[in-house]
Amino acid sequence: MRVVPVAVAARNLAAGYGGNPVWSDASFEIESGSFVALLGPNGAGKSTLVRMLLGLLPAAAGELEILGAAPRRGNPSIGYLPQGGHVDAELSLRGRDYVGLGLDGHRWGIPLPGRGARAAARAVDEAVSAVNAQDYADRQIGRLSGGEHQRLHLAQALVGEPRILLLDEPLSNLDVRNQAAMTSLVAEVAHARGLTVLLIAHDVNPLMPHIDQVMFVAGGKVTIGRPDEVINGEALSKIFDAPIEVLRDSRGRVFVVGLEEQVTHAHDHSPGDA
Amino acid sequence: MPALTSAPPSPDLNPVVDVQLLLHYAFMQHAFEAGTIVAITAGVIGYFVVMRNSSFAAHALSHIGFAGATGAVVVGASPVTGLLAFTVVAAGVMGALGNRLRGRDVTIGIVLSWTLGLGVLFLSLYTGYATEAYALLFGEILGISARDVLITLVAGAITLAALVTIYRPLLFASVDEDVAAARGVPVDALSIVFMVILAVAVSEAVQVVGVLLIFSLIVTPAAIAERFTTRPSRTLALSAGLALLFTWSGLAISFFTPYPVSFFITSIAFGAYVLARAATRPG
């Protein structure tokens, strides 16, 4: 049970809200321990896939397995960082308490002092160290910077010792330097712990040094492959049946052009998808 | 009703004598007992009210309770029964509306003003009971009976026990609803349960400060406490401690003066909040 070679498997999977399809006929496998970037235009259904993996949304059709089992709510093997995961600036809570919620926040009752509390405190310390947040873990979380924030969010996702991380746009509110730092941190932690990572992003460039696979969700379709196979104008044009170009600048950064328009079909049906 | 119609007693220089004087009368003993229970409950639930941005909902619940209480008086029932019935039903509906709904406060406000109108109608149907209305609006802690103290104790114990039971998931859902839901916390059900607990706490607190002044016990202590500490356990203890301080000192000062308890509780709470803001100004 400890080693499952396939972390996520989908067969003819379709996603939708209330009978309106977002995407369909997706079949793919994500190997255990791989780092996957999930890309695509807004509203194409990237978060929808994450919600399905979390057991918060049923599959419209087809099959989906995560770590060899059907998705279910409250799966302790998943560490989740939601989109727009900011907390109220006035929220009076230490970063450490926030991280601790990832460990036992789902349990009833109040935390009682004793052996359990000491073990919990050690687990929180360990998660805080894993993201290098020792310096500010005791400060009020609402007053921290975006980068510090995201590290503590990651610590909260890690504290329960998950086997897969689902990170929904963890880079979106960070500057370029922090994007690179956050991506390296995720890659480092995932490598050390053998975690599978599914990371939703808008820009693939900060992820390029670390990712094993790229998944594109656009125009009602899902495709996955190695970066060099998939980030390719010809391949993308064929998959999404549209003129898509991949441009490279002098620093080697890639830009996928033409995919943004591949949302209209799905968007018409699912205005609620984020 | 043991209102102090004659001149109030004068405070002694010896505080021990003052305390003996304060607790000499049964009505003052009852007031301190009920006030203590209500303050602790209000201070504790206030932490979550402030964290969940639900102060308007707490305020609205008390006003909706006013219609329930006056309606109960019209049909000859005890006002507390009507208060509880109306606040609990309204709380269930508000909880079901959820935290995320953008128009929630607008909806609550619309319902709130309608129920206040109902309250006015019930009052006019039951003429001659202006004191009853006054007590509901501004509190009647000096008139509280031994039986009411017992009811308050039971309600307070239930409220605190329920809060202890849902403490961690409620904190999780209040701080980060999405992650909590993914971790299996029943966030929608918790939202309803929390509002119902709040309804019971509000109904208790109405006896002390009345529907119009509920903020001073449910919101102010927690709002002050979270300016001074970021640890949940300390914030909860400080919030309950402040609510106790406001209630006890309000009762004590009122005893030696001809002015109402509610005035002193709300004024002390306000003063403390102003001081707390000044003391913790960022930068």
Condensed to tens digits (0 to 9), the pLDDT of residues B171-192 reads 999 999 999 999 999 999 999 9
Q: What is the pLDDT of residue A272?
A: 42
Of A73, A93, A111, the CB nearest to B168: A111
Same domain, A170 and A262: yes
Tokens of B119: 């309250």
The answer to whether residue A78 scores a pLDDT higher than 90 is yes
Q: How does the average pLDDT of chain A come out, rounded?
A: 90
Let me know how long chain A is: 274
The answer to whether residue A172 scores a pLDDT higher than 50 is yes
Q: Where residue A242 sits, what CATH number does that domain have?
A: 3.40.50.300
Same domain, A14 and A45: yes
Q: What is the pLDDT of residue A86?
A: 66
CA A187 – CA A193 distance, rounded (Å)? 10
Asked if B183's CB is within 8 angstroms of A91's CB, the reply is no
Query: Is the four-CA dihedral B43, B49, B52, B55 of positive or negative sign?
Result: negative
Q: Does residue A236 sit within a domain?
A: yes
Q: How does the average pLDDT of chain B come out, rounded?
A: 88
Same domain, A119 and A3: no
Residues of chain B contacting A141 with CB distance shorter than 8 Å? 230
Same domain, A180 and A157: no
Q: Does residue A49 sit within a domain?
A: yes
Per-residue pLDDT of chain B (283 residues; tens, 9 = 90+): 444 456 778 888 888 888 888 888 899 999 999 999 999 999 999 999 999 988 888 989 988 998 998 899 888 888 888 999 999 999 988 888 766 555 678 888 888 889 889 988 988 887 666 677 788 888 888 888 888 899 889 999 999 999 999 999 999 999 999 999 999 999 999 999 999 999 999 998 887 888 878 889 999 999 999 999 999 999 999 999 999 999 999 999 999 999 999 999 999 999 999 999 999 876 4
Count of structural domains, chain A: 2
The answer to whether residue A89 scores a pLDDT higher than 90 is no
Q: What is the pLDDT of residue B198?
A: 95
Whether B171 contacts chain A with CB within 8 A: yes
Q: Tokens 């160290």, residue?
A: A129
The answer to whether residue A4 scores a pLDDT higher than 60 is no
Give A 204-233 residues with CB within 8 A of chain B: none
Residues of chain B contacting A80 with CB distance shorter than 8 Å? 178-179, 182-183
Distance (Å) from the alpha carbon of A75 to chain B's nearest alpha carbon:
7
Whether B153 contacts chain A with CB within 8 A: no
CA A218 – CA A22 distance, rounded (Å)? 9
Q: What is the pLDDT of residue A238?
A: 86
Q: Does residue A218 sit within a domain?
A: yes
**pLDDT tens, position by position, B236-253:** 999 999 999 999 999 999
The answer to whether residue A82 scores a pLDDT higher than 80 is yes
Lowest mean pLDDT among A50-64, A107-121, B122-136: B122-136
Whether B183 contacts chain A with CB within 8 A: yes
Whether B18 contacts chain A with CB within 8 A: no
| Fold classified for B26-212 | ABC transporter involved in vitamin B12 uptake, BtuC (1.10.3470)
Which helix (H) or strand (E) element contains residue A10? Answer: strand A6-17
Same domain, A181 and A269: yes
Same domain, A66 and A116: no
Q: What is the pLDDT of residue B110?
A: 86
Q: What is the pLDDT of residue B73?
A: 85
**Residue A85's pLDDT band (cuts 50, 70, 90):** low
Same domain, A205 and A97: no
Q: Does residue A70 sit within a domain?
A: yes
Domain extent at residue A120: 89-161
Residues of chain A contacting B165 with CB distance shorter than 8 Å? 108-109
Q: What is the pLDDT of residue A270?
A: 42
Q: Does residue A84 sit within a domain?
A: no
| Residues B232 and B171 sit within 8 Å (Cβ to Cβ) | yes
Same domain, A66 and A119: no
DSSP 8-state class, residue A69: B
Q: What is the pLDDT of residue B101?
A: 57
Of A92, A102, A110, the CB nearest to B226: A92
Tokens of B196: 């119902």
Residues of chain A contacting B51 with CB distance shorter than 8 Å? 91-92
Percent of chain A with pLDDT over 70: 93
Question: How many inter-chain contacts (A to B, CB under 8 Å) are there?
Answer: 93
Same domain, A132 and A252: no
Tokens of A269: 């049906």
Q: What three-state secondary structure class fits A217?
A: strand
Beta bridge partners of B223: none
* Position B208, amino acid: V
Q: What is the pLDDT of residue B129?
A: 62
Helices (H), ranges, chain B: 15-22, 26-51, 55-74, 79-97, 104-125, 130-138, 146-175, 177-182, 187-209, 215-218, 220-228, 232-255, 261-279
**Residue A266's pLDDT band (cuts 50, 70, 90):** very low
Asked if A110's CB is within 8 angstroms of B164's CB, the reply is yes
Q: What is the pLDDT of residue A267?
A: 43
Same domain, A166 and A201: yes
- In chain B, the residue whose alpha carbon lies closest to the alpha carbon of A93 is B230
Asked if B178's CB is within 8 angstroms of A105's CB, the reply is no
Same domain, A120 and A169: no
Tokens of B47: 């932490």
Of B167, B183, B226, the CB nearest to A74: B183
Tokens of B10: 């004068």
Percent of chain A with pLDDT over 90: 69
Domain boundary among A132, A161, A190: A161
Q: What is the pLDDT of residue B1?
A: 43
pTM of the model: 0.91
Whether B189 contacts chain A with CB within 8 A: no
Domain boundary among A134, A161, A188: A161
Closest by Cα among A69, A24, A231, A229 to A164 = A69
The answer to whether residue A273 scores a pLDDT higher than 60 is no
Lowest mean pLDDT among A29-38, A243-252, B227-236: A243-252
Pairing of strands A164-168, A78-81: parallel
